[in-house]
Every structure is written in structure tokens, then in C-alpha cells.
Amino acid sequence: MRVLAVSGGLGLLYAVALGAGLAASRTLPWALGAVLPCYLAGLSLCWKAPGHPVARRLLAVGSWAALGLVVRFTVAFLGSAAGWVPGPAVSWPLLLLARMVDVVAAVMVARLLALLPDGREHHPYERVALRSLWLLLAAPLVVMLVPMPLWLRLRLLVQPEAWMPAVGAGLLVVRSVLDTRRSGARNAGRWRTVAAAAFALFAGRGSMRLFRMWQGDDGPAYFIGCALGALPYVVVSAGLVYGAFRHRLPGLDFTARRSTVYGLLWTIIGGWYLGMVTALGLTASQYLPISAAVLVAVSVTMLCQPLRRQANRLAARHVFGVRPSNFELLVQFGTTLEHAYDLTLLAPQLAVSLQEWLDLRWVRVELGTSGPGRLPSADGTAGVPPDGAGSSRTRVGLCYGDDALGFIEYGPKDEGRFTPEDRDLVETLARQAALAVHNARLNAELSIRIEEVQRQASELNASRTRLVQAQDTERRRIERQLHDGIQQELVALVAKLRLARNQLCRNGDTVYTTLTELQDDACRVIDGLRELAHGIHPPVLTDQGLAAAVMSRARRLPIPVTVEIEPSVRPARFTPDIEEAAFFLVSEAFTNVLKHARAGRVTVRIGRAGGSLLLDVSDDGVGLCPTTGPGSGLTGMRDRIEAVGGELSIISRPGDGTTLRARITETRRETTDV
């Protein structure tokens, strides 16, 4: 292989040097436009993937074509140097040799094309068909030996290699069709299209050769022939280089710098362009004086410059992709961030973007995963991170202030090294992502808070309504008791007083009894008033505080009550609203126990812990019915407790008693000495 490469290179150098010497050489365009690209492409592919059949074949084609050039140029040089016009006896063997070399090159191109993309034979017929192509080598001999007119002999001699690329492309079409049928490969459709396009192109090229033979080899036909003749080599070379790099031809697994690939494509395009321009100049010189021809060539070169630039740009875009600047990346990512309410979308997007922009093997992004559970978090991965811890990886933390909000982790670049600019880019993106996570968190926290506040607001509304209703009900009760109870009794007292007066006037004996009754009645009214007043507000609560009021209330219960009041609670005074709410709770709990619980015993515990007043009323009654839920009495208690910033929990199981447990944050008043 090395021998092939070296000899090809030497041959090429020799040919170009010689060709430049031969001013009017018509073969120079061919050397620049076809052989040089082919050789270079083969050389670089072989260098990167030495064992690959396609690479080997391409280099072989290039080298062989270079050899062909050597032969031709040597013949031409010798001819012009010696100054003789070779007669048939001398020229025949030389001509034959040149033809043979061309045929071999053409067959090699056909084999190269037919066995794409992996360079191996898939079907038995391919081996037969491709081997039989070598029979064409015999064609010149046959032509030589079989007697026929000279013109026919010449025509036959120059024909075969013109068709070979088309034959190769045709075989490739057949092969891709068969392959699809067999394996249903995914990319087969595209291959078939490429192959068919190549076949059409190369068949056109073959036809053109026929046209040239018929019309003569001069003038525009020469130029077109040069262009078309070089076409298969250029197209195949550029196609293979691009394909190998971009699409990873099977088995052609190599990494190359994008710049290398681009440089190669640039050289191929440049060589072909130079060849074509030379051909144009040569064509022009046939019609015009040398100076004019040079002028034409230069101006056409200038005019065609945009074409070449376009081709180069095309190659650059395909090799490098659309690669935006770091600034553009940041702007793009910033736009993405604007819509980054959803971290589950952002994380994969960030991972994929970073991987694409920086050519990283893999990227893993974790957003917000290091925080508490309820806050949003997400992760995203691009590429496949290796399992082992030993593999090279870099981790950039996402920090907002002192908060760690996740990280970006990435592997090495596909090619090349990580530059400081790349690192800056990652760190800038990490900062932006941290900001996004922070914002998403704020957002989430805010919506949690808002939900909470809304819930509290509606609960507060309901509770306020209930409290107002309870107050109204209580006022109506007091009014009823005053009017229907005490006032009526006072009216009765008045009536009885009138009776006493009557009795006094008539007969003083019975008035003593009546007056005694009157006194008892009045005492009853006082009792009634006392109870009413106590019901409105127990004076002992105001005068002596919660512990005394609870004890007093407990003593009037007809069932055993155990009161456990922490010593620190006894003398303590709390703000009136807390004392009232706490006493109301105990009092209502007692009322409920008596009404519903059928309890044998009640226990009240009052304690203090952590700046809170703790109340606990439990009974051994029947418990609450789990299906009906808390009744209005319990709701009222809860409202009262929550109105002073406390909370009430109700623990109850059927048959197992009920426990009311309240916690009220203390606001202490003074301590009395009771």
C-alpha cells in the first residue's frame, strides 16, 4: 500500500512538473481535475483508516491514474523532444500501453463504485460481474489482432473506460435494490437515490465521449469532455471524503478534525476548478490568439470565482454544520430560558444544545435535584455517559448565591481539546441555568404559597361567617332568656306583691307567707340572672384566669372530671381572647361530652410548651361517628381556636372516646398571685 502511495505521489509530481513544461498539453486538466483529487482523497482516507477496502481502492485508483499520467506525459514529452512523428510501428505499442493503463484505471473506478459503501461483495453475481470487467484488458489486443479499418479500430480502442463509471454506478443501483429487499436497511433508500444519480451522471458522461468521437475532439467539445471526464473522479473523491466523515461509512470509523476534512474538500474542489480553467484556456487558444485566449481564461476564471466560492461554502456548511458563535449560543439559550417555566423541558434541551454546540461525547444536566422534594427538578442527558467513574468527566455546579441547584456534567469533545472559550461558555450557561432553576423554584414556591393563602382566605371567610352567625344566635338566646325568663318572673313578682298588698288590707295573717314566697321568688330571679350572666361571660375567667375558670366549670359537671393543670399555668394570665377561646373550648367540650358522648369520665389537661398553650380534653365515651364528620359544635370550637391563631385537632374512634387537642400560641399578660 505504501509503495502504491509513494509511487502514485512521485508519478503525480512528475506528471505535473512535466505537464507544466508541455505548454499545450491537453492532459493537464485531467491531471489536476481528476487524478489529483482522487489521489489526495485516497491518501487521506488510507491514512485515517488504513485497512478499509474503499480507502485502499480509492488510493489505488488515484495512484494508478497518476501512473497513467506518467505514461502519457512521457510519451508526449519524448515525442516532442525527439521531434519525430511516430509512425504506426512505433506508436502502436505506446498507444496500446496508454490505453491499457486507462482501462485498468476505469475498471478500478467501476469496482470502487460498485462495492460502495463498505467495499465488500454482498452478492455472488458481483464477483462474477466485476471480475469479468478485467476481460476488457484484452480488448485492445483483440482490436489489434482482428483486421478491421483503422478508424473503427481507433474508435473501439478509446471507448471502454468511458463507460466504466456508469457500469460501476449501475451495479451499485442493483446492489442497493437487492440489499433493501434483503435487510430492509433504513438508509438504503438514500443510497439508491445517490447511486441512481451517479449512474445517470456517469452514463451521460459516457454518451458525451461517444459524441466527442463523432464530432471530433476539438473546440467546446474538448472542454465539455474534460469537465465530464474529470467528473466521476471529483465526485467520487469528494463524496467519499464527505460521506466518510459525515455519515460514517460502515467500517470507516475514524475521527478527523473538521478543518482537515474541509481542507481536503477545498483542495479537491480547487484542483478540479484549476483543471477546468486550464481546459477552458486550452479550448480558447484553439480559436483565438494566445493573448486573447489568456484574457478569456483570466476573465472566465474571475467570473467563475463565485461558483468555486459557492462550492467551498457548500462544503464548509456540510462539514461544519451551521455553527453559531458563542454569542449567538447565549442569545439562543437566553430565548429558551424565557420560556423555561418547565424544567423537564429545559434540562434535555440544555444537554442536547451543549452537546451539539461543543461536540461533546455526552452531556448530563441535572436541574434542581439537590433541593427539597416539593420543588421542581429535572434531568436531561445527551449522548451516553460512560458508567465507570474513571472515565474523563467534568462537572460544573449550578449555584445561585449559596444554593447548589444542580450541575452540568460532560465528557470529552468528539475531537479537539476543550478551549478556555468553551469552558467560559459552559460556565455562562450554567449560571443562566441556575438562574432559571432559581426562578422556577420561586415560581413553584409562590404558587404553593398562593394556594395556601387562597385556601386560608376562603377558610377565613367561612369561619368569619360562622362566628358572626354564632354570635347572632347567642344574642337571640340571651334576648329570649331575658324576655321569656327573667322578665316574666319579675312580672310574676309584681303580681305577687300586689297580692301581698291586698292580703295586708284584708287580713294580715296570710301576708307573711306570701312575702316569704316573694323573697324566694326574688332569689330565684337572682339565680337566673347569675346563670345568664355566667353564660354570657364567666366572671371568674376575667377575675382569676383560665385555670380557676376551668376548675370551676369542671366542678359543676355531673360526671367525674380529672383536671391536670401544670403549675406554671395556674397563676399565668393570657390575653383575654386566648383565655376566652381556651375556656370556650373546654366548656363546649364538656357540653358535648354531656350531650353526646355517654362518657363515664373526662380528663382535662392544660400545659405549656414552646411558647404555646396546650389544651387537651378527652373522654371515654362513644366517640364521633366517622361518617358524619365534625358537627357544628366542633366547627364552632375550631373557628374560635383558629381565630386566635391556634389549631385544633380532633382524635376520635367509634367506641374509643374523643380527644380534642388545641395548641394556641401564647401571648402572656401578667401573673396574678392566686
Partner 1 sequence: MSEPMSGRMRVVIAEDHYLVREGTRRLLEDTGEVVVVAAVGTADELLDAVHRFRPDAVIADIRMPPDHHTEGITAAHAIRAAHPGIGVVVLSQHANEQYAFALFQHGTDGLAYLLKERIGELEELLRALREVAAGRSVIDPRIVEVLVGSLTRTTDAPLSQLTRRELDVLRHMAQGKNNRSIAESLSLSESTIEKHVNSTFAKLGLAEETQLHRRVTAVLTYLRYGPEPAP
Chain residues in the site for partner 1 (CB under 8 A): 519, 522-523, 526-527, 530, 539-540, 542-544, 548-549, 551-552, 554-565, 567, 674
CB closer to partner 1, 454 vs 562: 562
CA angle centred on 352, ends 346 and 355, rounded to 5°: 135
DSSP SS3 for 109:
helix
70-97 as b/e: b if 16+ CB within 10 A: bbbbebbeebeeeeeeeeeeeeeebbee
CB 109 within 8 A of CB 165: yes
To the nearest whole angstrom, how small is the minimum distance from the Cβ of residue 564 to partner 1? 5
Which H helix or E strand runs over 652? strand 647-652
CB closer to partner 1, 466 vs 534: 534
To the nearest whole angstrom, how small is the minimum distance from the Cβ of residue 525 to partner 1? 10
CB closer to partner 1, 513 vs 562: 562
CB 311 within 8 A of CB 271: no
User: How far, in Å, CA of 74 to CA of 612, rounded?
Assistant: 110
CB closer to partner 1, 358 vs 561: 561
CB closer to partner 1, 564 vs 656: 564
To the nearest whole angstrom, how small is the minimum distance from the Cβ of residue 674 to partner 1? 6
φ and ψ at residue 665, rounded to 5 degrees: -65, 125
The number of residues making up the chain comes to: 674
Which of 131, 25, 15, 118 lies closest to 65 in space, CA to CA?
15
Give the number of other Cβ atoms within 10 Å of residue 499's Cβ: 15
φ and ψ at residue 604, rounded to 5 degrees: -115, 130
To the nearest whole angstrom, how small is the minimum distance from the Cβ of residue 465 to partner 1? 34
Helix (H) and strand (E) counts in the chain: 22, 11
CB 573 within 8 A of CB 671: yes
To the nearest whole angstrom, how small is the minimum distance from the Cβ of residue 642 to partner 1? 29
CB closer to partner 1, 353 vs 618: 618
DSSP state of 146: S
Here the cell at position 93 is 505499442
To the nearest whole angstrom, how small is the minimum distance from the Cβ of residue 576 to partner 1? 13
CB 392 within 8 A of CB 411: yes
To the nearest whole angstrom, how small is the minimum distance from the Cβ of residue 517 to partner 1? 12
CB closer to partner 1, 146 vs 523: 523
Pairing verdict, β 602-609 and 572-574: unpaired
To the nearest whole angstrom, how small is the minimum distance from the Cβ of residue 478 to partner 1? 18
CB 598 within 8 A of CB 605: no
CB closer to partner 1, 373 vs 567: 567
To the nearest whole angstrom, how small is the minimum distance from the Cβ of residue 481 to partner 1? 17
To the nearest whole angstrom, how small is the minimum distance from the Cβ of residue 526 to partner 1? 5
- Which residues have CB under 8 Å from 41's CB, separation 6+? 58, 62, 237, 238, 240, 241, 264, 268
To the nearest whole angstrom, how small is the minimum distance from the Cβ of residue 467 to partner 1? 27
CB closer to partner 1, 220 vs 600: 600
DSSP string, 346-396: HHHHHHHHHHHHHTBS-EEEEESTTS-TTS--EEEEES---S-TTS--EEE
CB closer to partner 1, 450 vs 557: 557
CB closer to partner 1, 110 vs 561: 561
To the nearest whole angstrom, how small is the minimum distance from the Cβ of residue 585 to partner 1? 18
CB closer to partner 1, 424 vs 527: 527
Burial class (CB in 10 A: 0-12, 13-18, 19+), 139: middle
